[in-house]
Amino acid sequence: MEQAKGVDFSTSIYKSFLLSLGELLKCVCCPFVCLGCGPFTTVRQGAVGVLTEFGVFKQVLQPGLYSYNAAAQAITLVNMRTQAIDIPPQRAMTRDNLSVKIDAVTFATVVDPKRALFEVENYQAAVRILAGSTLLRIIAEHDLQQIFTNRATINARLTEAMHEKGVGWGLKVHSVELRDITIPDAMQRAMAQIAEANREADAKVIVARGQQKASSIFADAAATMKKNPMSLQLQWFETLRQISNENNSTIIVPDSLLALLPNLKSNPGA
């Protein structure tokens, strides 16, 4: 017990000596502050400084110029602006057992600099690791089609999961965005073939529907012409007029039409 008291007393004396030495250094270097010399630091806008004394948190410094005791204190700058933290590309397995490569990014802001420094060793590295593992878990709950069509839902789930963990680290996670989804080349070719086959099938259906409508119209026209034969002859005359505009040298017409054209029979060279 007495030994512990002796250690505490020695430590107290040593701390007092360092504090006095640091204050003396500040006074000596004060005239040279304009030259950038001495224990001075500038906390710029968009950041804060975390002041520690003998390794223990003391206070948060807002933007400005500060002098500190170089022998006993230290100031660590913490970026308070929104940061874009890249998530390393992750190879994930979907629910339908397909391998995909996911590239994502996290947008986060430090809201509690004390926690960001002392509750986690490196908050940026922690965000990358946590986002990568969370991404693998959520991707495994969706099939490939859902990953492409429900990207907004996946982003929202990732953001919610990251926000819950980030609070304990003094972070506010604004969003997690999937930037790129890469599938194997063989799967890309298979999907392209499926898409092409679907387009061809749709085209055939459209053509078939057009033919069905055309046949219905032709059937109605045939029924009308059957009731009124003269309308059929008028249709032939219209066809002959169109053919004559194309400068054709040979015209084939049915005998039923020639029966109505006696002048053509009497004068074949006309």
Last residue in a domain, options 79, 106, 141? 79
For residue 99, being part of any structural domain is answered with: yes
Same domain, 55 and 105: no
**Residues contacting 69, CB < 8 A, separation 6+:** 18, 19, 22, 23, 25, 26, 39, 53
Q: Do 100 and 115 belong to one domain? A: yes
Range of the domain at 50: 26-79
What total of structural domains would you count in the chain? 2
Whether residues 42 and 126 fall in one domain: no
Whether residues 39 and 89 share a domain: the answer is no
CATH number at residue 165: 3.30.479.30
The confidence score (pLDDT) of residue 264 equals: 43
pTM of the model: 0.61
What pLDDT is stored for residue 50 in this prediction? 92
Which domain-ending residue is among 169, 187, 205?
187
Of 123, 105, 106, nearest to 114 (Cα)?
Answer: 123
What pLDDT, on the 0 to 100 scale, is given for residue 213? 84
Residue 14 per-residue DSSP state: H
Q: Looking at residue 80, what is its pLDDT? A: 93
Quick one: CA torsion of 147, 151, 157, 162, rounded to 10 degrees? 100
* pLDDT per residue of the chain (270 residues) written in tens, 0 to 9: 554 555 565 666 756 655 666 566 666 555 555 545 557 788 899 999 999 888 889 899 999 888 777 777 888 999 999 999 998 888 888 888 888 888 899 999 999 999 999 988 899 999 999 999 999 999 988 888 888 888 889 999 999 989 888 888 999 999 999 988 888 776 666 666 777 777 788 888 888 888 888 778 877 777 776 666 666 666 666 666 666 666 655 666 666 555 555 544 444 444
Place of tokens 């061809």: 200
In DSSP terms, which residues pair with 99 in a beta bridge?
93
pLDDT of residue 93: 86
The answer to the question of residue 168 being in a domain is yes
| Whole-number pLDDT of residue 30 | 59
Domain closes at, from 38, 64, 79: 79
Provide CB contacts within 8 A for 182, sequence distance 6+: 100, 101, 102, 103
Phi and psi dihedrals of 82, rounded to 5?
-65, 130
- Does a structural domain hold residue 198? no
Is residue 137 in a domain? yes
The pLDDT assigned to 109 comes to 94
pLDDT value of residue 267: 43
Q: Are residues 73 and 90 in the same domain?
A: no
Q: Say if residue 104 is in the same domain as residue 176.
A: yes
